[in-house]
Amino acid sequence: MQLSFLGKSYTASANAIAAAPTGEMATFMGRPYARKQATVEHRQQPAELTYRGVHYAR
């Protein structure tokens, strides 16, 4: 996905979020629903970062 922020373009990598059913039921605003447990994979952060035009490394 191509995005831009403050005039600079970048490509966003969106990881999929997997949701596994837990078997629990809950109620929200009077309506029952099945709860799910979300699992998100950790993304690899870049080694060199830029903040306000200054480059730095972790």
pLDDT tens string 46-55: 778 888 888 8
Q: Which pTM value belongs to this model? A: 0.39
39 assigned to some structural domain: yes
Q: What is the number of domains present in the chain?
A: 1
33 assigned to some structural domain: yes
28 assigned to some structural domain: yes
Expressed as residue numbers, the domain containing 48 is 16-57
45 assigned to some structural domain: yes
36 assigned to some structural domain: yes
> DSSP 3-state helix, strand, coil percentages of the chain (rounded to 5)?
0, 65, 35
- Predicted pLDDT at 55: 86
- Predicted pLDDT at 40: 76
